Amino acid sequence: MVAESLQRLDFRDPRSWRLIRSVPIPSPGPDHLDFSAGGRSLVVSCEYSGVVHRVSTTSMRVTGEARVGGLPVDVKLSPGGNRFYVANQGLGGVTMLSADTLRILGFVPTGDGAHGLAVSRDSRSLYVANRLAGTVSVIAFATHRVTATWRIGGSPDMLQVSPSGRRLWLSNRFDGTVAVLSTVTGHLIRTIHVGASPHGLAYFPQPGRYSLGHNGVYR
């Protein structure tokens, strides 16, 4: 569990919720995270420090870091398990890291305020919500290039892919709405008014066995 304001991760028993260990994170703003392919470690972004840290899920200790700069937010592991993608709201794009060493492998510009990430259902593409640009970018995992930019307006924040993969749901943080896009055409299908400052959203049921937390994402 991410205790952002306390600058730590809490490991708890999944049945009793008993606290097993609290892990202090060296940098302010621990926020989003994703797990390695084997689940033996996780990478957590620290939004206010421009750093991501690796934490062992077995020893429950910080075991590495990468200084990516800007304001790192959402984190996603590539379908192949060899790269982490980090949305960087301050730099307007996505930083790619080696899953093994945390070495920076490159940067993909997407748009102002790159914030939320989601993997397409066919595992070929990464969707990036550019909160300040009002766009969603599509990055091909095979080439690490932007293949489409969907201009939808609003302030897209966090993302969810429907089980069929044909719809992309997103919260518009500063517009008080949730939007639904076609992943085939990128066209806006519907806008739903929900109230002030929607942030995360969850779409259930979702395929997958393990919860990645935060936004109802499973793998």
Where along the chain do its domains lie? Answer: 2-203
pLDDT given for residue 104 in this prediction: 98
| Dist CA 113 CA 133 (whole Å) | 7
At residue 96, what are phi and psi to the nearest 5 degrees?
Answer: -105, 130
pLDDT given for residue 174 in this prediction: 94
Q: List C-alpha distances in Å: 59 to 11, 14, 44, 68, 81.
A: 11, 17, 16, 25, 21
Bridge-based pairing of strands 2-3 and 8-12 is: antiparallel
| Dist CA 68 CA 87 (whole Å) | 10
| Dist CA 159 CA 147 (whole Å) | 18
pLDDT tens for the chain, residues 1 to 219 = 999 999 999 999 989 999 999 999 999 999 999 999 999 999 999 999 999 999 999 999 999 999 999 999 999 999 999 999 999 999 999 999 999 999 999 999 999 999 999 999 999 999 999 999 999 999 999 999 999 999 999 999 999 999 999 999 999 999 999 999 999 999 999 999 999 999 888 888 888 877 776 777 787
With CA atoms as reference, report the closest residue to 152 among 200, 111, 93: 111
User: How far out from the chain centre does Cα 204 lie?
Assistant: 18
Return the CATH class of domain 2-203: mainly beta
CA-based end-to-end distance of the chain: 17
Contact assessment for residue 155 and residue 176, using Cβ atoms and an 8 Å cutoff: no
Backbone φ/ψ region at 50: left (φ over 0), alpha (ψ -120 to 50), beta: left
Contact assessment for residue 29 and residue 2, using Cβ atoms and an 8 Å cutoff: no
Q: Tell me the pTM.
A: 0.96
pLDDT given for residue 141 in this prediction: 98
Place of tokens 């069929």: 164
pLDDT given for residue 200 in this prediction: 85
